[in-house]
Structures are given as structure tokens and as C-alpha cells.
Amino acid sequence: MFWLYLLYYVLLMLISLAGLAISVLGLPGLWLMVAAAVGFSLATGGSVLGWQAVAVVAALALGSEIAEFLAGAAGSKNAGGTWRGVTGAVVGGVAGGIIGVPVPIVGPVLGAILGAAIGAGMLELAGGKASVQQAGNIAVGAAKGRFWGTVSKLAFGSVMFFVLAIYAFPLPGDLPESEEPATVGVPQPAADPWDEPGRRQLAAR
């Protein structure tokens, strides 16, 4: 039982690392971690990772989404952007992160930041109400917002990973006790006629 739970734990950690990595691309990697935590808890019957810990992980994932959105929106808004700039920053950030995948580690991060800047600037220009200089300022603001949004998501994701790494590790005391095999239907040995009561009966005769 312990080795099976340990295998579940290794799978949980691998999926969590993958989720943390793809979250940089703007994909719902942290929610993949939440789904993996739910699956782990179900597979182990909640004896290792309780639902309270799963709820904490889900709350952290929700908090990361709110923090990332607020950071991205604030970056464009503070530079004078409209909803077009916010939309362009989100779409451009996801596209840029995917394009930057071939470059290890820094590629997705830089791609997401540049993509957010380009997307916000282009959509503001396409709206026809922003000058080139204004669109440039909005693009810079979107890039800053995307950067801080990515930093906040990685921070939340790292906390989630360590929570799972600590509370999901199976310990011998967390494992369910093995049940004794049932004895229903098992024939019991016949009474010995030469036991103490039998000898007493013979002596009485």
C-alpha cells in the first residue's frame, strides 16, 4: 500500500511541475495542479491529502488568477489603455508565450511579455483613437503588467507546489490499517472428545 501511495505522490509532483511550467504561457496550469490534487485525494481515500489542503490549493489558484488579471489590467489602464488594450495584452501574452517555447526557460516568459505589449499596442492602434505614441505607452504598460502578473502567478504556483509536496507525502501513520481476513464460513475444528469435560464424563461412569 505504501509503495502505491508513493507512486501516486510522484505522479502528483510531476503533474504539478508541468502545470507550474505551462502557467507561464498563460494556460491554466495551476488548475491542472488543483485537478491533480483532487485526483490524488480520491485515489488515496483522503487519508493522506485531506480536503482542507485541497481547498487551500484551489483558493491559491483562484487568487493567482485574480492577481494576474489585476496586474495586466492595471498595466494597460495606467498607461491610458482601453478594453482593446487589455484584450490585446491577454491574447498577445498567450500567443507570445507559446511562440517562445522553443527557447528554454526564458523563452516563454519573454515571449509572453513581448506578446502582451505588441497585442495591446496593435489593438489600440486598430481602434483608431490612439496615436502611435499613445499606443507605444500602452504597450509598455501592458508589458509591465504582464511581467508582474507572471511573477505573481509563479509565486502562487510555487506555494501550491510546496503545499502539495509537504501535505501529500505519504507517511506510515497516514495509511489505512489493513483489515483482518473475514472468517465467515470457515469451518471451526471439532471439539476433542478427550478434553477435560470428556474425561470428567468417563470418570463419572
pLDDT digits (tens, 9 = 90+) for 91-145: 888 888 888 878 877 788 888 889 889 988 888 888 877 788 888 888 898 889 8
Q: How many domains would you assign to the chain?
A: 1
195 within some domain? no
185 within some domain? no
Q: Three-state secondary structure along 68-104?
A: HHHHHHHHHHHCCCCHHHHHHHHHHHHHHHHHCCCCC
C-alpha dihedral over 196, 197, 201, 203, to 10 degrees? 20
103 within some domain? yes
Domain that holds residue 172: 2-176
Q: Is the dihedral of CA 83, 116, 27, 67 positive or negative?
A: negative
130 within some domain? yes
200 within some domain? no
Cell of 124: 489600440
128 within some domain? yes
Cell of 1: 500500500
Question: Within a 10 A sphere around the Cβ of 153, how many other Cβ atoms?
Answer: 23
Averaged pLDDT for residues 79-100: 84
Averaged pLDDT for residues 151-173: 91
pLDDT score for 182: 43
188 within some domain? no
Instruction: Indicate whether 175 pLDDT > 70.
Output: no
Averaged pLDDT for residues 149-172: 91
Q: What confidence tens digit (pLDDT) does each residue in 183-200 have?
A: 445 555 555 555 555 555
Cut 0.75: pTM above it? no
pLDDT score for 180: 40
